Amino acid sequence: MDTPEPNHHPTAAALERTLRAKQASVGVIGLGYVGLPLAHAMHAAGLRVVGFDTDEAKIESLSAGRNYLKHLGEALATELAESARFDATTDFTRLAEVDAVLVCVPTPLDAQREPDLSFVLSTARSIGRALRSGQLLVLESTTYPGTTRDEFLPAVLDAALEVGTSLEPGIDFFLAYSPERADPGRTSHTTATIPKVVGGLDAVSAELAALLYESCVEDVRLVSSAEVAEASKLLENVFRSVNIALVNELKVVLEELDINVWEVVQAASTKPFGFMPFYPGPGLGGHCIPIDPFYLAWKAKQIGRPTRFVELAGEINTEMPAYVIGRLVQALGVNGRDVADSRVLVLGLAYKPDVDDTRESPSFELIAGLAELGAHVDYSDPHIPRTVPTRRHDLKRESVALDAETIRSYDAILIATAHSAFDYGLLAEHAALIVDTRNAMAGFESRLGARLFRA
């Protein structure tokens, strides 16, 4: 986009000149799957970048040029470590050094599947304590409409007042929302090429945020408010959640009819208009799709408008791990085995192929659920050598290397993630039973016969 020259208050005008000259310094809070590539993109555009995170291990890795997000490649971390324009720190008082602060922290669900804004609000308070005149703040974390204006801003202002700072939003500092759009492992799009939606609490904030993103993103789209930008992110992922739920529910029905849902989707995809393929699986993973529908549903309830369709989709997708476990129990029974006496190997801990991203991965639910039934459960994932504790699970397991002898030692192989590194031919030759949730064994059906179950 070509941002117009607005008639600004002196503070905004000074920041605008700095942004147009590409001389702004940028702070990125949260150096994870969203923040790290964003920090790199800003750095690649020639800006000075300070990365902030509470995890000392991430800071140490970046300082040493080691990338803890393997799908981004070691070159990214090396480039940042060797640059005089990049620094990473756990010291949030240094937020006062930068002209713009981009917030990329988690927005999970709590135990009741309601929004947990604790990371957003604690970050807002850290910003408030260091806030100075002339700064631009942008929240990128996925959340419900109204968060930026009604939750994030008051937390910033309250913390600022606690340290004796009184600044007016839209005049002394500026606040916008721009939803993250990251897809770990995807090579067809990058931070620089994915269009960026920007909405401000006021027109000046929106224009300044758009100027900042134009420095490193090819296509920036201004919308009329932060609330529109917040809602657009939810729509993107609710759309996917609803359609995945549809095909997951269809899978259950078609399985009872002995019809291959994958072949059905492939056949429907031959229509050149009016159809978009979505595929079933063992449950939803990643930070967005398993969570965003519940954010929207919660907000809708606050205004007395339940989202029955969206909530139903969330319920269907949440129930898929239990369905898969039921299919595996059924398959073992056909082979004369009780799940409580069985050895099961789950293939894939990551939520999607060929990455090390385990956020909200259904594999955790599968492993925990089978273990509760008395099965001995291991996993194999070439990208994740050992498990680490999550908010809900601490599996305390290490990845099992796949070879013929190992495969034969298990009563069932459950394919949860179709990593390209897995040798599916070897599985077809040696597995006693395969329960396939990803259609990974397509082409091996004749060799497997009754040893293959779809789930």
Query: What is the set of active-site residues?
Result: 288
As given in the structure block, the two tokens for residue 331 are 């398959």
Measured between alpha carbons, how far is 342 from 348 in angstroms, rounded to an integer? Answer: 19
Q: Tokens in use for 118?
A: 């604790």
How far, CA to CA in Å, does 421 sit from each of 353, 405, 447? 9, 18, 21
Beta-ladder partners of 343: 376
> What separation in angstroms does the CA of 254 have from each of 89, 269, 328, 454?
53, 17, 17, 11
φ, ψ at 355 (rounded to 5°): -135, 170
Encode 177-209: b = buried (16+ Cβ within 10 Å), e = exposed: bbbbbbbbeeeeebbeebebbbbbbbebbbbbb
Q: Give DSSP secondary structure letters for 251-265.
A: HHHHHHTT--HHHHH
Report the chain's terminal Cα–Cα distance, integer Å: 46
| Other beta carbons less than 10 A from residue 383's beta carbon | 20
